Amino acid sequence: MPAPEGSQHRRDIQGLRALAVVAVVGDHLLGWPTGGFVGVDVFFVLSGFLITDLLLRERASTGRISLRGFYERR
């Protein structure tokens, strides 16, 4: 699915999130890599970065942030 017009799809960050998910799934299924919580931490940090970036862009373009609008778009 292509990124919406005007957005900057961060394939690098999305790839890192995917690797974090693979680490968690690998820990659950294979017991490797140990410490799957690291994958969870990485996933949440990167997700927070992406969400913050979206909210800051909304503020820059509209002058305000609508959390309701943000969750409706999700």
Whether 30 is in a domain gets the answer yes
Whether 1 is in a domain gets the answer no
Whether 63 is in a domain gets the answer yes
- The count of domains in the chain is 1
In single-letter form, the type of residue at position 73 comes to: R
Q: Global pTM? A: 0.71
Q: What is the pLDDT along the chain (74 residues), one digit of tens a residue?
A: 455 555 577 899 889 989 988 988 888 898 887 766 788 899 999 999 999 999 999 999 999 999 999 999 88
- Distances in Å between the Cα of 38 and the Cα atoms of 12, 31, 35, 46, 67 are 19, 13, 6, 12, 28
Quick one: which H or E segment has residue 59? helix 37-62
